[in-house]
Each structure stands twice: as C-alpha cells, then as structure tokens.
Structure 1
C-alpha cells in the first residue's frame, strides 16, 4: 500500500519531459526517484544534486524496472524511442513502455501518468504508432492512469541539424501550412499537468488530455521569434515532394495535417486547469528567446572563424 511519502518514479529524467517533470515535482516537495542508466552522467548528477533519488535501470532490462518501481506511489512514463532516418522505431518504443507498465503492475503502483503525442487522427502519424500501443496497454492494465498527449514543443525551435524544425540561417523550415494556426506547448507545462495528475489522481483517473499552450500560424511565430531575439527569422513551408524525400512518416504527417486541420487541444479548458499555461510570447520572454539567440550567435561566430 503506497503513501504520500513514497516517491514518484520519473523516467526520462535526463531528457526534456522527464527532466521538467522531476524538477516540477521536487519544487512541489514531492519525493522523486529518477530512472537512469548511468548515474555518473552530468544530467543524472544534476538530478541527484536537486534532490532526486537515482534508480539505475534500463527499459531493455525488465528486471531493473521492477526494482525501480517497487516502493513508489506513481510512475511518469516516457520511454525512449529509437529514431532512424525513415522514422521512429515504434515497436521498440511500445515494447519499452509496456515493460514499464508491467513493472508498475507488479509493484502495485497507485497511479501511472504516460506522456504520448497529440493526436492527428491517423494511426501512422509521425511518432504515434508506438505511443498508441502503450496507451492501449495502460488502459487495459487495471492501473489508475492519466494519458497526456502534448503537441509540438516550443523547445523544438532549438533543434539543430534536423531536416525540419529548428532555425537555420534565419529560416524555420517545417511541414505545417504557413497560414493555419499551429498548436504548440512548452515542455515545462507538460510537467505541470503531470504534477496536477499525481496530486489529484482521483480527479485525473482515466483522463486522456490533449495538451497545447498556444496556437499561432508558423509565419506569426517566426515574426514573434524575430522580434524577441533581434535576429531575422522567416518561415518556409516544406512541399509535399520535399516531405516525401525525407521519409514516409514525414510526408504522412504533411498530408494528415492538411486533411484534419492539425492538433485540436482545447486551450480554454486547459487554462482552467493550469491558468499560467504559457503562450509562445511568454515562453520567449521567459528564456526561450535568449536560448534561440545564443544558438544563432554561436553559429554565426563559428561561420566567421
């Protein structure tokens, strides 16, 4: 029988969503156990320094997952996915997520929060296949659960070297229609919703929540970034042929986005749950613009040297 004094196991603690969730829970005074493969990695050491207990484990070694979940009252599930040029390895991602759910059942964990991906109405959309299998396994597990489905992260403007997203040479290049509002969310806000679910599991039991914080067109977003950073930025919409050349999952998202109108999170309802939900402008003002500008400046300095 778990108690409020038992920790919450956070997976992906050295990554974006897991790291943000661990920090949010710790800030709220909630004990955190973070699953890590290498406790000496800088990100793992930072988690330990912030007050998290480290549990050494690996999604590909199920026995370590049982040990990590034992004695916890909740689990934040964000399994690592293997990315290849043609897309995500959804089968491996599903295998890892389901292994953790089974470990949580064995450990009689009270509440599981799984973060997947915003729905576009298509089973084979980018990165969705494995996550959908994990959702189904969680719903069928008999565990108390909450599913979070975040849309595109605002932090994706910081990506480097990706065929789409990020900012390179003053261009934000992506799949999405230039003139349609594009939903997005700050990673820290995903963490807030996870913390809300763990704080009130009865209220959030069985809920599947599409998460977004803002919806502006890519052209408007690029203008906002340019204004906030002082660097010129404009948006370039990838053509269907260009998307197809990148990979089948990429072109599928290109098509599905235009067929469905894109993500459909209910922003007013989300703000009722989390009134401080960040807009793009708020995220830029709270440090996002500085981080983007630093990347642009560093690239310019490298090109000049």
Structure 2
C-alpha cells in the first residue's frame, strides 16, 4: 500500500487521481490551501487525509510531503500567471527532493516538450526540466485536450443554441482525454513506479475532428448540434495563451499514439469521446445559467 501526496486534489486531474488511488486501496494525502472546502470534505468522505499546503510556503510543502511514498504534482497558470506556475512548480519539486520522495509524477501537457510557443505549455516544460535534474525518481505524463472542457465555458454556452463553438477548422483532428483517464493512468504509473521512472508519456484516449465531435454531442444531447469555428481573433481578446494553443492545434495538431496506449495499458479503461459524452448529465448542464453573460 502506497501513501501518495496529491496536489490539485480538489481539481479535475488531482481529484481523478485521488479517487483512482483510493479505489485501488492506497492512502491518499490530499494537499490543498483550503482544507475546509466542500471539495476537501468530499475527499475526506472517500477516505483521503487532507493536509494544508501552500505552494508559496516551502515549510508547509515539506511538512505535507514528509512520510509520503510518492507525489502526484499538477500546476496551473490559470487564476495566476505562468511565472507563478513555474515558481510554484519548482518549489514543489524541490520540496519533494528535500524529503526524499520515492517517485514524483508530474502532469504536463502533450507536446509541451516540443517548443510549441504556447505559454502554459512552455511553463510546464520548464517545471519538467527542473524535475529531471532534482535527483528524485520522476515520470511526466502529458495529457492531450481535455474532453471535460466541452461541458463548460463558452462551449457549453454554444451547445444551448445548438452550436459546437470551437476555435478549429471542422476537419482538423484533435486527440482528447477525460480527466478520469488521466487519473487512472496516473494511478497506474504511481503503482508501477519502477517501470515508468525516467519516462515522459503523451497520453490521449480518442481522436476526432470538431465536425465529428459535434455529431457525437448531438446524439448524446438529443438535439441538433453543428460545429461553428470561433475566430482566433475572438479567442485572443479573452486569452492570448489559449489563442496560441488553438493556433498550434490547427497548424501542428496533437499527435498521440492512442492505439498503442489502449493496447499497452488496457487496465486504464480508456474512454472514447462517445463514452464521455453519453455519461454527462446534459439536461442539468444545459439548463444551468450561462457561464458568459
């Protein structure tokens, strides 16, 4: 039985990893700045130990990590900025090395090691590089585009009007993955640390064009849905970082070997986009107040 410290445990990737580890019978130490939050309480209800940890407080990180076997590390610039993500990510890696953890699994982004020019990919790559030199056994898992984003934000707003609003041409393929598969794969890597140490793995569970995704969403929702290409200029007014990402998706794409991943790691239980779409409670999602008014 492992004791795994999980950052971002109240978020999508960390939460999915925590649940997968708990289901496999391991101890989860959920690290959060808000141990009294409803999301933290939900993790306690599943059997996790919740510890306070602040990425800007090195002592709190080391105290939270001491005694753990391994760490699942996730960073994000959203809500702060990429400079903060880099600083906090490196501090987390340094704390893991200081307490001599047996394995650090860092979740990055597919292609982040390929000089994409996408700000929040480049920031993650800098944390990856720091991890490689920290003197602690490491693995980097790098997810493709998140399916979960299609049930929130401007995409969900568009679906209310029968439009799959996505800033890519309708015929350009994109590799995809739901948070649940990221968590399942991360749990597999953590449980088989010796096998995965020193490896960087791009991961995805399916691949579709926006036109195909619109068709799948239409079937799952039970209403007509058509792809509408959102101009990059419009995205840029909201986020130059996201605009750069979609520009990369269109010009280069995210090639990930989905077939090999499904063949080599069937125990992950990879979900197709159709699997994910039919599992969503669209009636509730679509009846909620729009995110952008």
TM-score (norm 2): 0.91
Structure 1 residues 33 and 254, CA gap change in structure 2 (3 angstroms): closer
How far the C-alpha of 1:266 sits from its partner, in A, is: 0.6
In the TM superposition, what are the counterparts of 1:115-126 in structure 2 within 5 Å? 115-119=107-111, 121-126=114-119
Alignment of 1:298 onto 2:288: yes
Among 241, 251, 264, the residue aligned to 2:255: 264
How far the C-alpha of 1:220 sits from its partner, in A, is: 1.0
For 1:153 and 1:256, locate their aligned partners in 2 and report how far apart those are by CA, in whole Å. 15
Please list the CA deviations of residues 169-225 of structure 1 after superposition, one character each: whole Å capped at 9, or x if unmatched: 222212222102211101110011111111111110111111111111111111111
Structure 1 residues 251 and 184, CA gap change in structure 2 (3 angstroms): same
Q: Is the 8 A contact 1:92 1:130 kept in 2?
A: no
Structure 1 residues 183 and 7, CA gap change in structure 2 (3 angstroms): same
- Identify the range of structure 1 (194-203 vs 235-244) with the bigger mean alpha-carbon deviation: 235-244
Structure 1 residues 233 and 167, CA gap change in structure 2 (3 angstroms): farther
For 1:62 and 1:270, locate their aligned partners in 2 and report how far apart those are by CA, in whole Å. 36
How far the C-alpha of 1:6 sits from its partner, in A, is: 4.8
In the TM superposition, what are the counterparts of 1:84-99 in structure 2 within 5 Å? 89-99=81-91
For 2:147 and 2:40, locate their aligned partners in 1 and report how far apart those are by CA, in whole Å. 24
In the TM superposition, what are the counterparts of 1:1-305 in structure 2 within 5 Å? 5-83=1-79, 89-119=81-111, 121-160=114-153, 162=154, 165-168=155-158, 169-260=161-252, 262-275=253-266, 276-285=269-278, 287-288=279-280, 290=281, 292-299=282-289
How far the C-alpha of 1:137 sits from its partner, in A, is: 0.5
How far the C-alpha of 1:250 sits from its partner, in A, is: 3.3
For 2:171 and 2:214, locate their aligned partners in 1 and report how far apart those are by CA, in whole Å. 12
Aligned-residue RMSD, C-alpha: 1.9
Q: Is the 8 A contact 2:103 2:193 kept in 1?
A: yes
Give the secondary-structure state (helix, strand or coil) at the position aligned to 2:164: strand
Once superposed, which parts of structure 1, at least 4 consecutive aligned residues long, lie more than 6 Å away?
none
Aligned residues: 286
